[in-house]
Amino acid sequence: MEGPSEHEDSATRERSAPLTNRAKPSRVTGTDRRYEVVFTEMIRQLDQQHVAAKDLRQTATVTLATSLVGSVIAVAGQAGTAKHPISVGFGITVVAIVFLIAGCVIALMLPTQLVTGFSASKLIDGYVEASPPSSLEDMYRDMALWGQRHYDKNDLTLSRGQLLLRIAVGLLLIEGVIIAVYALLT
């Protein structure tokens, strides 16, 4: 397999996949376990991102459920006990906030691909059964670099999800304040 040309810098040598444009590091000889340590840490970080994404989605679902239950209880409670009929503005505001929260949650739940592992068939084809086969150090090195690129992409996806969740929670707080103020005024 071809290595990088003399004019490529380190940013150019980064891979979008572990099987392309591999270059053997010049300072590593023998059985160097440092790449295994880096690879193990990268896998741990990718696993943590997977857990974080799952937790984020669960929290978003709870936020939406809280909003729905709170708005139904508020509207039903105001309808049954208020001295005055529920104002149209109050009803529209509460429903609009629920829909905004639902929009944030749906956007957060949309299928996003977090990469958390490697394809065994690609590893076998590209490293083990390649001609010549790659060393274990090369495999660990390339997979760690590949994992880092996907870790960075996953991080952007998780950051977007966290922003959507913050917006949804903020809207939930606004909804709660509006319901409380309306209940006090009627």
**3-state SS string for the chain:** CCCCCCCCCHHHHCCCCCCCCCCCCCCCCCCCCHHHHHHHHHHHHHHHHHHHHHHHHHHHHHHHHHHHHHHHHHHHHHHHHCCCCCCHHHHHHHHHHHHHHHHHHHHHHCCCCCCCCCCHHHHHHHHHCCCCCCCHHHHHHHHHHHHHHHHHHHHHHHHHHHHHHHHHHHHHHHHHHHHHHHHHHC
Residue 155 phi, psi dihedral angles, 5° rounding: -60, -40
**Could you tell me the residue ranges of all domains in the chain?**
32-185
Q: What is the pTM of this model?
A: 0.67
Specify the amino acid at residue 134.
Answer: S
Instruction: Using pLDDT thresholds of 50, 70 and 90, give the confidence band for residue 5.
Output: very low
Q: Which of the pair, 66 or 83, is modelled with greater confidence?
A: 66
**Residue 81: predicted pLDDT:** 61
pLDDT in tens, 37-78: 888 888 888 888 888 888 988 999 999 999 988 888 877 776
pLDDT in tens, 89-136: 888 888 899 999 999 998 888 867 777 777 778 888 888 888 888 888
**Residue 78: predicted pLDDT:** 67
* Helix axis angle, 34-81 to 88-109, nearest 10°: 160
**Residue 174: predicted pLDDT:** 92
Instruction: Using pLDDT thresholds of 50, 70 and 90, give the confidence band for residue 14.
Output: very low
Instruction: Using pLDDT thresholds of 50, 70 and 90, give the confidence band for residue 165.
Output: very high
How far is it, in rounded angstroms, from Cα 184 to Cα 102?
27
How far is it, in rounded angstroms, from Cα 66 to Cα 136?
51
